[in-house]
Amino acid sequence: MSSSALSSQKEIRILIADDHPVVREGLVTILALQKDLKVVGQARDGEEACLLYDQLSPDVLILDLRMPKKDGQQVVSELMSREPRPRIIVLTNSAKAEDLRRSLTAGAKGYLLKGAEPRQVWETIREVFAGKSSLPHDIAAQLAESMAQPQLSQRELQVLRQMAFGKSNKEIAQILYISEHTVKNHVKVIFKKLNAIGRTEAMAIATQRGLIDSGAC
Amino acid sequence: MSSSALSSQKEIRILIADDHPVVREGLVTILALQKDLKVVGQARDGEEACLLYDQLSPDVLILDLRMPKKDGQQVVSELMSREPRPRIIVLTNSAKAEDLRRSLTAGAKGYLLKGAEPRQVWETIREVFAGKSSLPHDIAAQLAESMAQPQLSQRELQVLRQMAFGKSNKEIAQILYISEHTVKNHVKVIFKKLNAIGRTEAMAIATQRGLIDSGAC
DNA sequence: CACAAACCGATCCTTTCGGATAGCTCTTAC
DNA sequence: GTAAGAGCTATCCGAAAGGATCGGTTTGTG
């Protein structure tokens, strides 16, 4: 029940960045239960997160992906240039493989769902603080699955987004300054990568995977 | 800064139902700041919510839409048969008009986003407890917009879901035991209602509106 | 260097879409 | 009772879609 003996001499200084007041309060409450964990600051958006990070130099940053002004991905990318390397845990309610993949490639060390149990939160923080990467089992499984699936290239994503607006191949060709034949080729590859039989199913899969700008969620 | 004088003699007994521990803790912490609000129980899923509601008879139930075992909509529908009529506030992170609409038609009296400020949460609880319906301004605006847009009929939704699997009109016809011509007609109506120019765009719009079973979010 | 992958372009051919238009039941609401 | 809307069926027809197959450049990696 009690925590491990990992460098328990110093307390771990934590910065929370989340635009939901309820979640911030919940995290503070949960983390306050462990005496080696100390919340030293809270940010309401991405900009504030960067500012406070530089001011406070926390040991661990817990970050939501969807935030106003500057989203989680950007914050991770921006902070990764700092020395020493920040230890960042992404805490979000999106179980989408795409978000997970992007977060990790951007440099995040941990990924937690908002449905996580308190103990899981504590342990992840301690592991990341200790320099390890930490992914809950269920999340790790998704990552493996995600990595197995081929990713769309930038160009293919552009085509996909135009498809989402109902554009025809010819229209997409004009928009992207390429031949309609090329568009058809891209579309074909998209189908294969998404394992879809037509553009309609491709759209359904893409939006559910988070490949399309879905705005609110 | 202080609250209104609305029947402040008794404290308002509140039941929380949310599968996210972090959110539950956050709510408890926030509600504890107001002495007229008292959390009398917490449920982790839909079934527990119904059970605890009957045991505790809270004044107000705060409910998440997405929960294991029994989702929020079902809980609202089920509890509405109770006497006296339960006062239910839906608290979710989905700003989707569809969720909002379904919740209200099911009988919920309030709708809050997880991004809501503490004061907004307090006020909504008090208003709903007083028998009023309460919708934040931004949410209400969305509702108006949603209501203005035509809804899809059951049959049209069935067609739409088959489209999501990439089925052709002919295939959908076979599946639903109707003529391909009929399917085409339904599809045409769907386009008009969703304001889409083709099935691809229709899919994009439908998934973003939550018309398609999106499972995890 | 060689190989893979992204990106670009093309042809042929069949199937499917989707618009315009029309008529038929059945149920619900005014 | 009649008007409205859901659900069903139908024909014509041009425009897309998409499968199969081919070949080209450029860039980056082993």
Domain ranges of chain B: 3-147, 154-216
CATH classification code of B3-147: 3.40.50.2300
State residue B214's pLDDT score: 59
The strand C neighbours among A residues 178-207, by Cβ under 7 Å, are 178-182, 184-186, 189
Calpha distance B131→A168 (Å, rounded): 52
Count CB neighbours of A117 within 10 A: 13
* pLDDT level of residue A166 (50, 70, 90 thresholds): very high
Give me the residue from B24, B203, B208 closest to A200, CB to CB.
B203
Amino acid at B207: T
Q: Could you tell me the pTM of the whole model?
A: 0.79
Q: Which pair of structure tokens corresponds to residue A157?
A: 């994503």
**Residue B15's beta-bridge partner residues?**
B41, B61
Q: Which pair of structure tokens corresponds to residue A195?
A: 């394992």
Q: Do domains A3-147 and A154-216 have the same CATH topology?
A: no
Calpha distance A53→A59 (Å, rounded): 10
DSSP string, A32-97: HTSTTEEEEEEESSHHHHHHHHHHH--SEEEE-SS-SSS-HHHHHHHHTTSSSPP-EEEEES---H
Q: Which residues are CB-neighbours of A72 under 8 A, at least 6 positions away?
A: A17, A46, A63, A64, A65, A66, A90, A92, A103
Give me the residue from B23, B197, B204 closest to A22, CB to CB.
B23
The CA-based diameter of chain A, rounded to the nearest angstrom, is 65
If we measure between CA atoms, which residue out of A148, A160, A65 comes closest to residue A104? A65
The CA–C1' separation of A155 and D27, in angstroms, is 15
State residue A148's pLDDT score: 67
**Which segment of A37-41, A117-121, A136-140, A171-175 scores lowest on mean pLDDT?**
A136-140
Q: Is A213 on the interface with B (CB under 8 A)?
A: no
* pLDDT level of residue A24 (50, 70, 90 thresholds): very high
Judging contacts by C-beta atoms under 8 Å, the chain B residues touching residue A22 are: 23, 26-27, 30, 114, 116, 118, 121
CB contact under 8 A, A203 and B203: yes
State residue A61's pLDDT score: 95
- A25–chain B nearest CA distance, Å: 5
Residue count (chain A)? 217
Give me the residue from A93, A95, A118 closest to B93, CB to CB.
A93
State residue A43's pLDDT score: 95
CB contact under 8 A, B200 and A199: yes
Quick one: fold of B154-216?
Answer: Arc Repressor Mutant, subunit A (1.10.10)
Q: If chain B, 217 residues long, is cut into consecutive pieces of 10 residues, what is the mean pLDDT of each piece?
A: 52 94 94 94 93 94 89 86 89 81 84 89 92 81 70 87 92 90 90 90 90 61
Q: Which strand D bases fall within 7 angstroms of a protein CB?
A: 5-11, 16-23
State residue A216's pLDDT score: 42
State residue A114's pLDDT score: 86
Q: Find the mean pLDDT for residues A23-47.
A: 94
Give me the residue from B95, B121, B198 closest to A216, CB to CB.
B95
Mutate one of B100, B194, B200 to test the A interface: name it (highest A CB count within 10 A).
Answer: B200
Judged by C1' against the alpha carbon of B198, the nearest nucleotide is C18
Strands, E assignment, chain B: 12-17, 37-43, 60-63, 88-92, 110-113
State residue B217's pLDDT score: 41
Q: Find the mean pLDDT for residues A3-17.
A: 73
State residue B156's pLDDT score: 87
In three-state secondary structure terms, A41 is: strand
Judging contacts by C-beta atoms under 8 Å, the chain A residues touching residue B117 are: 21
Among B residues 157-186, those touching chain A with beta carbons less than 8 Å apart: 163-166, 168
* pLDDT level of residue A98 (50, 70, 90 thresholds): confident
If we measure between CA atoms, which residue out of B144, B140, B156 comes closest to residue B188? B156
Calpha distance A68→A72 (Å, rounded): 9
**Which segment of A88-97, A197-206, B178-187 scores lowest on mean pLDDT?**
A88-97
If we measure between CA atoms, which residue out of B108, B121, B110, B99 comes closest to residue B28? B121
State residue A217's pLDDT score: 42
